[in-house]
Structures are given as C-alpha cells and as structure tokens.
Structure 1
Amino acid sequence: MISKAGKTKFQIDLRRHLRENYVNENLTHLICEIAEASKYIIHSISTGDLGVAGTSNLYGEQQLALDVLADRILRKRLEHSRVVANMMSEEMDEIIPVSPDCDGKYSVAFDPLDGSSLVDVNLAVGTIVSIFEGCDLLQPGRRQVAAVYILYGPRTTLVYSVGKGVHEFGMNMLREYTLLKENLTLQPQGNLYSPGGQRNLYTPGVEGFVSKLEGRGVKLRYSGGFVPDINQILLKGQGIFIYPHLQGHPLGKLRLLFELSPMAFLIEQAGGAASDGHRPILDLQPKQIHERSPVFIGCKDDVAMAEDFIRRLENDQGSELEVDVKS
C-alpha cells in the first residue's frame, strides 16, 4: 500500500499518520506522549522487578511493582504534556487534576498495566487509554475523542482510533511506532470466543449463548488478559469476548471507564459491537469512577445474539423458556 506521500505504510510513523488524518495538534501530541510512555513501560516489563510493591489498589488487590511503576510513568508523561486537564488511573481512587484550564485540553482515563498478574508467567499484558475533550471524565464512552491500547507481547503494538477507523502500529528496533495495518474491520460473525468468569456461575441467558456458540463449532481462545484477547479479535477480524454478569455478581468484573469504554470505542469503529447484555457499552452513563459492567464485545451479530438470549431467558419473568442451542 502506498500513502499519499508516496511511501509504503511501513515507513509511516504514528505522528505522521495522525497528521495525515487531520487530527488536531494537541490530540496528536497527547497520543504521541502515550506512545512515548509505553517505551518506558515495556523496558520496565523486560528488566524490572516482578515482586510485590507492598501496596494495594482500591479493590484490595495486591499491586505488583510493575503496576506502580507503569502508573507512575504514564502519569508523569501526562502531567508534563501540557494538554491534559484531568486524569484518572485504575490504580488510584480519585481524579487527579492537572490544569484548571480546560480549553483545548483533554481528560484521560487509563489502566496502566492491564493483566499485570500475567507478567510473571510471561503472558501478554497491555495499557488501555480513554480520552475525552475538556475536564469531564464521567461521560458516556460515545463522547470519547480517542481510544488507544498498547500490547506488550512478542511484539509491542499500538492500536488507536480518533473516530476515523482503527489502525495498528508496531514498535521497530529503533523504538518507533510505524504503521502495520489501517482500517481494521470485523466480520459480522466469528468463529472464536474468549469467555471470562466461572462457567458454573453463568446465568441462563449467558449459558444458553455460550452453548449456542459451542454448538456452532466456535473455538475457545482465552488468554486471561483483556488487551491480548481484544487484540486477537481485532487482528483476526472476528470473535467475541465476554465477561458477563454472574450469579451473585451482577456487575461483572471489568471497569467501565478504564477498560470497557475505550475498547468498545475501538471495536465499534471496526464495525463490531459492545453491550452490557442489554444496551451498548458506549451509551452507559458512569455514575462513579470505578464503576463495573458486564460486557459482550466483538462481532456485531454475535453480540446481538447474546442480547437475544439474555432477553429471552432472563427478562421474560414467569416464562418457562428453556435453553435451546439449536434455535
């Protein structure tokens, strides 16, 4: 593929791609600062201490040293970017004000090292970032102006969208991000699924949906990491990830602002869908910083099928509907 400037896509770096897509200067600078921070995070993963930091996050989960370090790296980069008004980390319990001036600035929510417990067994992890204009972070995800994730795996890759498609970049030997694929797209239906949560705690609708997928011959592909599993779906162009509501745990596990909203933005931009089982993730209005939600995210037809099973098997009170994997 040849770009407008006559160079192959492998020679187009991230900053140039943003400019060629007419992304404004401040947002371009912000996304490039996030990319720059990731270079220090991958270095820390490769060389850093895998021991425990001796602190806990808001949920009482023991923080790995890398969690703390990745959080510090990203926060420092954002603080000094001069284009951030407020920021919020999954590892913190409050919004961090950066600038009282909101004009031309952005508010950023991020998970600095999603899946950090997988590092010590050498599985892929990632950084997830959600970007809003102005000072307000408690907005529905549909108002995002950009979403980014970085995957630290056998290769380090960055995927972003500013509402003009979804694009993948790879870190080269010079630690520069260069374009790999433009306009990633999802098929309407997939042949793989990534199911989170305990199967014995699935509700009737979720169990019916998963049984339907299995009856269709869909393959189970689950790493235990949200970023690598979503990346697999995007790069293969098919599949669905679920971390549903469970018996006794109606809100699921994943956080709306730090994880679900940015990934839903990217998946929708690729032609897919993301739902809590009833409505689009991007339409949910967060009421608090660390709000959680169930999620069904991936190919549009598969997400619609999940909603249908939940509606038929869980919402029709008094009905004696049975799970029919052939219907």
Structure 2
Amino acid sequence: MPAAPGTSKFQIELRRHLRGQNISDNLVHLICEIAEASKYVINAVRTGDLGVAGTSNLYGEEQLALDVLSDRIMRKRLIHSGVVCNIASEEMDEIYQAQASADGLYSVAYDPLDGSSLVDVNLAVGTIVSIYEGCDLLQPGRNQVAAMYILYGPRVSLVYTVGDGVHEFTMNNLMEFTLTRENIRMQEEGNIYAPGGLRNKYNDGDEQFIRHLEAKGCKLRYSGGFVPDINQVLMKGKGIFMYPALKGSPNGKLRVLFELNPMAFIIEHAGGSASNGNIPILDIVPESLDQRAPIYIGCKADVKAATDFLAEHKGVPAAAASFVNG
C-alpha cells in the first residue's frame, strides 16, 4: 500500500494498511483485535510471574504461568471480537466454539506464547496465529486467509500476510503498530541455518545436509525459539530453519496447526518454501489438533537441498551414508 503524499511509510498504522489489502471488514477487525491483545501479552511478559502454573497442556508439557495468562488474554479477545466462531489454542485440549454460525466469521488457531521457557533467561518469544474462513480448522494450511506472528524481543514486531505480500509493523512508544517493512522477500539461497533437535538423533539425510551447509560456510544461528529464528531468516531474507524427524520422534516436535501452517504461509508468500521433507507443509491435511511434522523452511534452494539429501539417503545405513559423502 503506497503512502499518501507527504506521509512516510513509517507512519502507516496497521488498520489503515489492512484496509488497503482488499479483505473483509471482519478480517481487518480480527487482525487488529489480535494486535491489541498482544499489547497485554507483552505487558505480562515484562511484568508477570515467571513461576509454574501447576497445570499441564494436552501434550503433557508443564504450563508456565505466562502460558496460561497469555492464552487467557488472547482467547478472551477473540471471543469478544464478534467475528470468530471456533478457537484452537496450543494450551487447550479441544476446540472452543465462540459462536455457532460460520456466516462471515473466522476460525483461529494460535500458540499464545511460543518459547515461553525462554522468558526467564530474557530471550525473545512470540505469538503465532493462523486464520481460516468458517468453522473448519482441520484443513490444509494453504486454505488460510491470513497468518501472523508477534515477536516480543528488544522491539515488539508484528508480521502478517493475507496472501498479498508479507509486511512488518513495529510497536512504537505509544504502543501503536506502524509499518517498518513492506513486501518482504526471501532470496533464492541463504548462508545461515537454524537446526532444532539433538544432532545425535538426526537421520542420515539430515546429518549429511548439515555437513553440506557447514562445508558451504553457512553460519549457525539458533536461539531455541521458533518465532525469533523464523523472524531472523525472514528479515535477513536468507537461510533455513529446520526441525527434522528424530530417532525416536519421527514427526519432530512442532505442531502443524499452531506453528507450521502459519509460518509456512508467511514464508511462502515472501517467496520462500516450507516442506516436511516430502510434501509442502501447506498441503498437509491435519487429522488432529496435536499433529506434528518435521519442517524445513526458508529459502527455496536451501529447502530443496534438504529434501534432496533426505531422498538420497532414505534407507541408507549410517556407515554407507558416511562413505558415500567421503
């Protein structure tokens, strides 16, 4: 969206930018409500209790007090937005129905505070959001009408796409989101990589891919937080994040609905790629809320190289794989 005469693009506020995206008023309202909720989440992160809430989510993971509070903030905002029918959160064990009717309404899946275990060591965390028309959340990520994440770091930034470019907004000292980068694009190939999971549990193809990146002189950049690591790849416009299948964990760690689909939607619309090693992430049909999948996401050439290594070494014993690659 071009700035009006005499107006810097840095003064374009989120709602105004959204109104230039040819989307419904309900979707504009929904994205703005999520942005508004993030202001309360960042306040909780900065001032809230770092102790444990004493409960577990449906994956058996101990919930931090900030997880519970962030989820409550986001869910309440979505319910009262008036434009949401179904809600799924990584911290809830079932879909919450806000309204029975789907006419003109949206369904939202979100991770309220991804990387919350990093808060007590003062590393960046974030909120990830996926939006669909109607009430069906268990559908391929390619059907999303919008995806976004909010990064709570030294600056608070919001990145969104509605399928027509990827745009970054930064929270100013008045807690308003104003445009900082428009139509962000990924390069074809990068020189940074962020590998999740224990390397001694990697399969042969993943191990050989990492050796390939090391031989190219790629720089290792991994924080342990999905949002800041994806944000780094996106904002630098180069590189790859991966959390592969591991020995003993063939589906990796990250959830399709809450993490992979929204990030894949954003990266693809910035000219990048996202795969589970076999098919695009956005073509996966989720069968349950807790479905997980491996992920390779970033520059197209890097993701293709990863999938090529996986195909080459599929079923090859470890000793043979080492011999093949010298």
Given the two structures, how large is their TM-score scaled by the length of structure 2? 0.97
Partner of 2:202: 202
Partner of 1:185: 185
Deviation at residue 248 of structure 1 after TM alignment: 1.4
Deviation at residue 81 of structure 1 after TM alignment: 0.3
Give the whole-Å Cα distance in 1 for the aligned partners of 2:230 and 2:213.
18
Q: Is the 8 A contact 1:188 1:299 kept in 2?
A: yes
Per-residue CA deviations over 1:47-94 (Å, capped at 9, x if unaligned) read 111111111111211111000000000000000000001000000110
Partner of 2:137: 137
Partner of 2:211: 211
SS class of match (2:296): strand
Give the whole-Å Cα distance in 2 for the aligned partners of 1:141 and 1:83.
20
Superposed, 1:214-233 pairs within 5 Å as 214-233=214-233
Q: 1:16 to 1:281 in 2, by over 3 A?
A: same
Partner of 1:35: 35
Partner of 2:264: 264
Deviation at residue 7 of structure 1 after TM alignment: 1.5
Q: Is the 8 A contact 1:208 1:324 kept in 2?
A: no
Q: Is the 8 A contact 1:165 1:269 kept in 2?
A: yes
Q: 1:325 to 1:214 in 2, by over 3 A?
A: farther
Deviation at residue 4 of structure 1 after TM alignment: 4.1
| Residue type of the alignment partner of 1:205 | G
Partner of 2:24: 24
Per-residue CA deviations over 1:15-43 (Å, capped at 9, x if unaligned) read 00000122210000000000000000000
Deviation at residue 196 of structure 1 after TM alignment: 0.3
Per-residue CA deviations over 1:248-306 (Å, capped at 9, x if unaligned) read 11000000000000000000000000000111000000011110000000000000011
Partner of 1:99: 99
Partner of 1:78: 78
SS class of match (1:248): coil
Give the whole-Å Cα distance in 1 for the aligned partners of 2:323 and 2:271.
29
Partner of 2:62: 62
| Residue type of the alignment partner of 1:220 | L
SS class of match (2:197): coil
Aligned length: 325
SS class of match (1:150): strand
> Could you tell me the percent identity over the aligned residues?
65
Deviation at residue 312 of structure 1 after TM alignment: 0.9
Give the whole-Å Cα distance in 2 for the aligned partners of 1:22 and 1:251.
37
Q: Is the 8 A contact 1:313 1:322 kept in 2?
A: no
Q: Runs of 4 or more off by more than 2 Å in structure 1?
A: 319-326
SS class of match (2:54): strand
Give the whole-Å Cα distance in 2 for the aligned partners of 1:43 and 1:285.
36
Q: 1:34 to 1:5 in 2, by over 3 A?
A: farther
Given the two structures, how large is their TM-score scaled by the length of structure 1? 0.97
Superposed, 1:97-176 pairs within 5 Å as 97-176=97-176
- Pick which of 184-193 and 2-11 moved more: 2-11
Partner of 1:237: 237
| Residue type of the alignment partner of 2:47 | T
Q: 1:17 to 1:207 in 2, by over 3 A?
A: same
SS class of match (1:261): helix
SS class of match (2:103): coil
Per-residue CA deviations over 1:181-233 (Å, capped at 9, x if unaligned) read 00111111100000000000110000011110000000000000000000000
Q: Is the 8 A contact 2:165 2:269 kept in 1?
A: yes
SS class of match (1:157): strand
Deviation at residue 5 of structure 1 after TM alignment: 5.2
